[in-house]
Each structure stands twice: as C-alpha cells, then as structure tokens.
C-alpha cells in the first residue's frame, strides 16, 4: 500500500544485533499533508500495519451484514471519497435508507460522529451501521461467531491485537483503518502550502468569494467545516428531526452536523438526505437564504451571486478535489 508502509530501519536491525532486543516496526505516513495536524490514535488502538490491514479487510467484508451482502464500502465507496453518489443507500435485504452516506475522508479529525453528532468516538460509531435496521441489521456478537469460522481472521486478530476475534477487535480495527483515510493533496492544499501557481485566477477569486460571502462561517479550517450542529433551512418541515432525536428539544429540530467540503465535486448528491443533486442546486439554496424554519441558523441569509461569481465559486469548490487520494483508494 502506498500510503501506509511498514518500515524496519536498518539502524534498528543493527541495534538489535548489538543489544539482542527485537526492534519495534516503525510506520510512516508516506504522504501525510505537512499542513495537517497529526492524527491522534487512542491509547488502546495505536496504529500498526497489522491493525490497519485487518481493518481494511473488515471494511470490505460483507459478513458484517445480516444477509452477507453489504459492507462498509457498499455505502462509502473509495471511488467517491468514501461517500456515495446515491441520495440514500439500500441496506441488508434491500431495506430503504433514510440518509445520505457522508464521506469518510479525514474522519480522523471529526470531534463526533453520525449526522447529528451523537456518537463520541470512531470506535463506537462502527457499531451504528451494524445495529441499524436499514443498514446491516446485525448483531456484533453474531458477526464475531461468523468470523471465528474464518481462520484467516482468527490469525489476523491474534497478530494485530494479540486476541481472538471480539467486538473490541472488530470496532478497533475498522476505526484504525478509517483514521488513515486522509485527503489533503488538492490544488487548494498546494495553494495553502505556498504554491500560488496551484490556483487559476478563477479559483483564487472563488476562494475570495467563499470567504467574503460568508460560506467560511460554517465551512472553516483545514477541513472546511467547523462541525457545528445547525439547521441550514433546508425545509420548513422536517421528516428527519436531526438532533431532536437525541435531545427531544424542539429547538434542535432539523439540526445536523456541518459536513466538510473536501472532494465536494465528487460526493454528490448533497445534504443529509441527498436531496440536492448538484452544486448548482446547493448554491441556489444558499442564494435564496433557505426555508423559513424557526431553528434556521442566523448564519443562513440570502446572498447575491452574479454569473461570473457563481462560476468562480464553483471553480474553487472543484479545486478541493484530491486526485491522489482517489488514486490511492483505488488500490485498496
């Protein structure tokens, strides 16, 4: 794998010959963006190649679903920045999904998980699709029993976690893999790193429009999201009540986590329910100021865009595509 490489340094081998102690393998990010912060791995789930490889296998494993027909990659496709190009996806036994599958690119940096931010860790998030009736509709203990009959998984779990196959091993391995889905090699990133030639005049003007028209108020920072939970005025009435489902507070109806805009040209359709098919649809929504819902964020107000500004803003949004990330993902 290009991105994660197991390297045992020659100096470590020499040290072993001198002191008689087996060296620890060193794992390096081959193309970790220099302007990104380091990925923090939990104490009980530090990154090793064996854990990453087990997590990669499990990410594509259809035995996680009750009908042995769906995997994590069924809804989070490598070819679409680990998102989906369908408004919603069908789960096990063709159960109808209710939400659009968000991109997993840079999920290592998210402060919380799911569309309403109700899950505090990536390890815990792994259990959500497993248990959901319209996703895998399965039980983690039944998955453990199934994988125990596959000797390759038994061997990999022992090597990665010095353990038999358990819920702990499954959730840790998948989250360990997901934390390595780092996307930071777009034209925008090259511009941020000081390469002014990375941007065309249209893309640069689009960046200025993005900042001056207020888009940056919600889509800020390196990931182009502050991950706030807010109502963006998508509807006057919501079937999916968002954060209200967790808090039972009417003031939280229609509030969802602000997504990252990285690779946005590839991750259509948009919004938590996939209801907006194109970037132009999204721009139309924000130009209008959204629907009049009482919980709509004060940040969502009508904006003016002439044809040239719209074209340049779209050029900037397209500059957020990281082709190297897709090339790497295609090799998984």
Residues 264-292, buried b or exposed e (16+ Cβ, 10 A)? bebbbbbbbbbebeebeebbebbeeebbe
Residues 194-211, buried b or exposed e (16+ Cβ, 10 A)? eeeebbeebbbbbbebbe
Is 70 exceeded by the pLDDT of residue 22? Answer: no
Q: How far is 231 from 293, CA to CA, in rounded Å? A: 8
* Helix (H), strand (E) at residue 261: none
CB 58 within 8 A of CB 174: yes
Q: What is the pLDDT of residue 330?
A: 85
CATH 1.10.760.10 location in the chain: 31-178, 187-324
Please choose, from the candidates 216, 210, 206, the residue with its C-alpha nearest in 3D space to the C-alpha of residue 312: 206
Please choose, from the candidates 143, 134, 139, 126, the residue with its C-alpha nearest in 3D space to the C-alpha of residue 92: 134
Q: Does domain 187-324 have CATH number 3.40.50.2000?
A: no
Q: What is the pLDDT of residue 33?
A: 87
pTM beyond cutoff 0.85:
yes
Quick one: fold of 31-178? Cytochrome Bc1 Complex; Chain D, domain 2 (1.10.760)
Cα within 13 Å of Cα(207), Cβ side: 15
Looking at every residue in the chain, the average pLDDT score rounds to 91
Q: How far is 60 from 261, CA to CA, in rounded Å? A: 25
CB 172 within 8 A of CB 123: yes
Is 60 exceeded by the pLDDT of residue 253? Answer: yes
Q: How far is 127 from 195, CA to CA, in rounded Å? A: 42
Q: How far is 52 from 177, CA to CA, in rounded Å? A: 5
Query: What are the tens digits of pLDDT across the range 29-64?
Result: 446 788 899 999 999 999 999 999 999 999 999 999
Q: 218 or 26: whose pLDDT is higher?
A: 218
Is 60 exceeded by the pLDDT of residue 26? Answer: no
Place of tokens 């649809």: 281
Query: What are the tens digits of pLDDT across the range 175-214?
Result: 999 999 999 999 999 999 999 999 999 999 999 999 999 9
The predicted model gives 124-133 an average pLDDT of 96
Reported as a pLDDT band with limits 50, 70 and 90, residue 85 is very high
The predicted model gives 16-32 an average pLDDT of 42
Q: What is the pLDDT of residue 332?
A: 85
CB neighbours of residue 164 within 10 Å = 13
Q: What is the pLDDT of residue 31?
A: 64
> What residues form DSSP beta bridges with 304?
none
CB 113 within 8 A of CB 125: yes
Structure tokens at 283: 């721009």
């Amino acid at each position: 794998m290009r991105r994660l490489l197991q390297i045992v340094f020659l100096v470590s081998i020499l040290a072993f010959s001198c002191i008689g102690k087996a060296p620890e393998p060193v794992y390096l990010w081959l193309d970790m963006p220099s302007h990104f912060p380091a990925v923090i791995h939990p104490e009980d789930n530090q990154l090793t190649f064996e854990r990453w490889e087990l997590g990669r296998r499990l990410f594509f494993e259809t035995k996680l679903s009750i009908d042995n027909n769906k995997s994590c990659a069924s809804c989070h496709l490598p070819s679409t920045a680990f998102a989906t190009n369908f408004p919603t996806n069908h789960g096990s036994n063709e159960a109808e999904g209710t939400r659009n599958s968000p991109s997993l690119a840079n999920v290592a940096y998210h402060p919380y998980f799911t569309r309403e931010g109700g899950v505090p860790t990536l390890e815990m998030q792994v259990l959500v699709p497993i248990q959901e009736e319209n996703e895998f509709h399965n039980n983690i203990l039944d998955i453990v029993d199934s994988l125990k009959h596959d000797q390759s998984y038994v061997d990999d779990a022992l090597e990665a976690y010095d353990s038999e196959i358990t819920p702990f091993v499954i959730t840790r391995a998948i989250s360990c893999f997901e934390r390595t889905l780092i996307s930071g090699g777009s034209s925008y990133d090259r511009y941020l790193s000081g390469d002014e030639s990375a941007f065309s005049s249209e893309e640069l003007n689009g960046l200025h429009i993005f900042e001056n028209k207020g888009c940056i108020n919600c889509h800020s920072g390196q990931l182009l999201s502050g991950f706030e939970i807010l109502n963006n005025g998508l509807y006057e009435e919501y079937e999916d009540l968002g954060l209200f489902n967790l808090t039972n507070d009417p003031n939280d109806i229609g509030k969802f986590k602000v997504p990252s805009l990285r690779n946005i040209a590839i991750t259509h359709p948009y919004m938590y329910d996939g209801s907006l098919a194109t970037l132009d649809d999204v721009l139309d929504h924000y130009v209008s100021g959204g629907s009049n819902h009482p919980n709509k964020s004060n940040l969502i107000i009508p904006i003016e865009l002439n044809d040239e500004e719209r074209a340049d803003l779209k050029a900037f949004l397209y500059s957020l595509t990281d082709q190297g990330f897709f090339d790497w993902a295609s090799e998984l």
